[in-house]
Amino acid sequence: MKRAPLWIGYPAAVVVVAATTAALKLFPNLTEASVALLLLLAVFLCASIWQSGPGVAAAILSTLVFNFFFLPPLYTLTIQDPRNVTALVVFLVSGLLIGRLSALSRRRLAQLEAERRDLVALTDLSQGFLADTNRETLLGVAADRLRQALLAEQVVIFVPGADGALAPAATTAEAEARSDLAELAWKQGNSAAFPSTLGGTDIYLPINLGVHRVGALAARGLRSSERLAEASAALLGLALERERFLRIARDAEMTRASDDMKTTLLAALAHDLKTPVATARGAVENWASRAGDEAARPALEAIASLTRHIEDLMKVVRLDAGVAAPRRERVTAREIVEAAVARFGEALASHSLYVDLPPEDIPLDVDPSQLTEALGQGLENAALYSAPGTEVRVSVDESDGQARFEVTDRGPGVPEGDRDRVFGRFVRLSDSGAAEGSGLGLFIARRLVEMNGGRVRLLAAEPRGLRFEMLVPRAAG
Amino acid sequence: MSRILVVDDEPGIRKVVRDALERDGHEVVPAIDGEEALERFAEGTFDLVVTDLAMPRVDGLELVKEIRRRSPVPVLVLTVRGEEREKVRLLDQGADDYVTKPFGVAELVARVRALLRRRESARGPEITRWGDIEVDPEARTVRKGGELVHLTPLEFSILATLLRRPGAVWTHRQLMAEVWGTTAGVTNDTLRVHLGGIRRKLEDDPNRPRWFVTEPWVGYRFSPDT
């Protein structure tokens, strides 16, 4: 709504008072009191339409007109009856008061109207922001939404890019804004407002989120209040943050779904690989019960080796697929040793196995299956690379806030120069004598232990043999 | 002679299991999937069910649930070594034991015998003698090699519970519920301490138990045969 310039009110007030006077003169029988009231009405009219300046002018003019045209002696500014002096003063004061009050109430009304409009604009804006759920569409329409809400000519939203520098992320058509002021708003939180070459105000505001600044908002040719602009900037900050959380949640959901898929596929793969092997083993064993163990032994040994290869390959595939994230829980070092012996002890049936457990148990925050698996690899290695009948010792104790698991065998050991190399994939020492290993066991053990925050290494045993050592941090508390 | 229902969608595994069990003197009824298994199950009575876990249509887990709804017959599940969580779920659903592929025939036959013996004992007296151990459930006393062994009341309760299902695996939750009547406030640590006590007093080598076997992260098994 365009409004007439303010000075129009003064001639208009003169016209209104003159017209009222002329009209009153047509009715010579009116009492002075009636005249006074009707003149006051004219003052009220002027004040409420053209506000206080013209209102005051109308009040003074009406006082003079009242005196000149209606109080005896007529057509002079002198007053015959001293009581009319009081009346005239009362009239002047009333006129001034009426003018002031009506102007005031009008201004209040305008203010309320502006606030209501701001609220409506903010509500629309927040509904719009809530409807947009990804950054591209959010930013794309945010600039236009803000331009409408703020009654601005141009809007530019600045957000730091991937390189960390502030850059316009969304603008309205043909909008240009000063990036130095936007930078200042973003970096230091300073806002700037000044008269615009486009009319109205140019304003530069930081987009805040709590104590963080996530960007800057520039609105040029702003015709709404600065307060509305600030509130809109805050709303934009919230919308951007909400969008960020939504994106994180969506990514997490997608990762989880793809992990579930991988787990299911891997389970199916394991089933498909192991079922024929199970059939072969069972058939050979059934046959052996008639033909004799001796005849079946080579086949059974080959099947056992094939089984180990499949198991190891499945473990590596699972590790590579990233579905093997540790599920940590509070367990004790003793449990890990017991579990590893229970599950992998079979491989050591022809060895003398000694288990040394500490009197004091050591709490650990680890994935128990994974750590058992890792220690089990140590036991299987000992079984493969040391002669049947020799001694294998598994122990755990505490040193420097760590649980130290050890598997010691009396085999040939590993030369010092090779002790790190054998943790690689498919590494098997050529003179290790045993061909059954897949060359993946130590690789798997190291990956599993490291995923659980520990370390694993090979050492020489005294007087001979290999020491497989796993160090895992003791749980706090 | 026991009647055993063998369920697997792989003909090879069905034949292997059938040959092994028939050689051990059992009668075997094969079924190619969970659906057929339920039909066979409705037609006749069985002393044991051996089932694969992964099968089309009605899978092993659903089959176990369905059988458990109808009958207390022991169920042995063939799984692929993998998630302990899956085994716990199977056992909590009512399976009695599992063997992992590729299983040995001897192991399978031993597990089957143990579960069948439990079926016998459910009809007759419980197992109270094995190795050099003798248990008197009435007097709540235990002897090892003729010597009286003192067990705490909780240790005896756990022992008595395990004896009720020789060969079967008890999950931690099942044991807690059975012995304490609740799983609230009882931890795996508590169980382990009492099992440790039982082993120390009854096993020849408590560090390599023969009878009271830990099934890592799953539970415990009383295994009088091995």
The interface pTM score, or ipTM, of the predicted complex is 0.74
Residue of A267, A282, A289 lying closest to B17 (CB–CB): A282
Q: What is the mean pLDDT of residues A330-335?
A: 87
Please choose, from the candidates A54, A63, A52, the residue with its C-alpha nearest in 3D space to the C-alpha of residue A92.
A63
Q: Between A268, A270, A286, which is nearest B20 by CB? A: A286
- The answer to whether residues A250 and A257 touch, using CB atoms and an 8 Å cutoff, is no
Which one of A267, A307, A357 has the shortest CB-CB distance to B102? A307
> Do A475 and A365 form a contact (C-beta atoms < 8 A)?
yes
| A476 CB burial (10 A radius; 0-12, 13-18, 19+) | exposed
List the structure tokens of A341: 């012996």
- Average pLDDT score over chain B: 87
- pLDDT confidence of B7, banded at 50, 70, 90? very high
Which chain B residues are closer than 8 Å to A278 by Cβ?
Answer: 13, 16, 78, 101-103
Q: Which of B108, B217, B220, B226 is the mutation pick for testing A, counting most A CBs within 10 A?
A: B217
Can you give the pTM of this predicted structure? Answer: 0.59
Residue whose tokens read 């079967």: B168
What is the predicted pLDDT for the residue at A433? 54
Q: Among the ranges A19-28, A233-242, A433-442, A451-460, which has the highest mean pLDDT value? A: A451-460
Determine whether the interchain pair A282/B215 forms a contact, defined as Cβ–Cβ distance below 8 Å.
Answer: no
Q: In chain B, which residue's Cα lies nearest the Cα of A394?
A: B207
**Over chain A, what is the mean pLDDT?**
85
CA-wise closest residue to A35 among A48, A21, A49: A21
pLDDT digits (tens, 9 = 90+) for A91-131: 888 888 887 888 788 888 888 988 888 888 888 888 888 77
Q: What is the mean pLDDT of residues A415-439?
A: 74
Say if A143 is an interface residue toward chain B (CB within 8 Å): no
Percent of chain A with pLDDT over 90: 15
- Cβ–Cβ < 8 Å for A464, A380: no
**Interface contact A275-B10, CB threshold 8 A:** yes
Contacts of A70 (CB under 8 A, 6+ apart): A24, A32, A35
**What's the whole-number mean pLDDT along residues B157-184?**
88
Using a pLDDT cut of 70, give the percent of chain B over it: 94
Of B12, B80, B104, the CB nearest to A285: B104
B-chain CB neighbours of A357 within 8 Å are 207
User: How long a stretch of residues is chain B?
Assistant: 226
| Predicted local distance difference test score (pLDDT) of residue A5 | 62
Confidence at residue A2, expressed as pLDDT on a 0 to 100 scale? 42
To the nearest 10°, report the CA torsion of B15, A297, B214, A343.
-110
Does the beta carbon of A297 lie under 8 angstroms from any beta carbon of chain B? no
Taking the Cβ of residue A108 and every Cβ of chain B, the question of whether any pair is shorter than 8 Å is answered with no
Three-class SS state of B155: helix
Q: Say which residue, B122 or A321, is predicted with more confidence.
A: A321
A-chain CB neighbours of B99 within 8 Å are none
C-alpha gyration radius of chain B: 18
Which residue, among A285, A306, A307, A323, would best test binding to B if mutated, counting the most B CBs under 10 Å from its CB? A285
The pLDDT of residue A435 is 53
| pLDDT(A449) > 90 | yes
Please give the angle made by the CA atoms of B214, B220 and B225, to the nearest 5 degrees: 85
Token pair, residue A23, equals 């009209």
Smallest CA–CA distance, residue A341 to chain B, in Å, is 8
Question: Which region among A144-148, A321-325, B189-193 has the lowest average model confidence (pLDDT)?
Answer: A321-325
In the predicted model, is pLDDT for residue A323 greater than 80? no
Q: Which residues of A touch B102 (CB under 8 A)?
A: 274, 277-278, 280-282, 303, 307
> Contact B208/A278, CB-based, under 8 Å?
no
Rounded to the nearest 5 degrees, what angle is found at the Cα of A295, between the Cα atoms of A292 and A298? 130
Query: Do B102 and A277 form a contact (C-beta atoms < 8 A)?
Result: yes
pLDDT for res A1: 41
Quote the pLDDT of residue B87. 84
Secondary structure E strands in A124-238:
154-160, 166-171, 192-195, 201-209, 212-222
- Cβ within 8 Å, pair A369-B104: no
Average pLDDT over residues A358-382: 89
* Residue B123, pLDDT above cutoff 60: no
Q: Chain B residue with minimal CA distance to A290?
A: B23
**Interface residue A355 vs chain B (CB under 8 A):** yes
B68-86 pLDDT, tens per residue? Answer: 999 889 999 998 866 677 7
Residue given tokens 């009581």 in the structure block: A83
Cβ distance of B101 and A274 shorter than 8 Å: yes
Q: What average pLDDT does the segment B130-139 reach? A: 88
A177: left (phi over 0), alpha (psi -120 to 50) or beta: beta
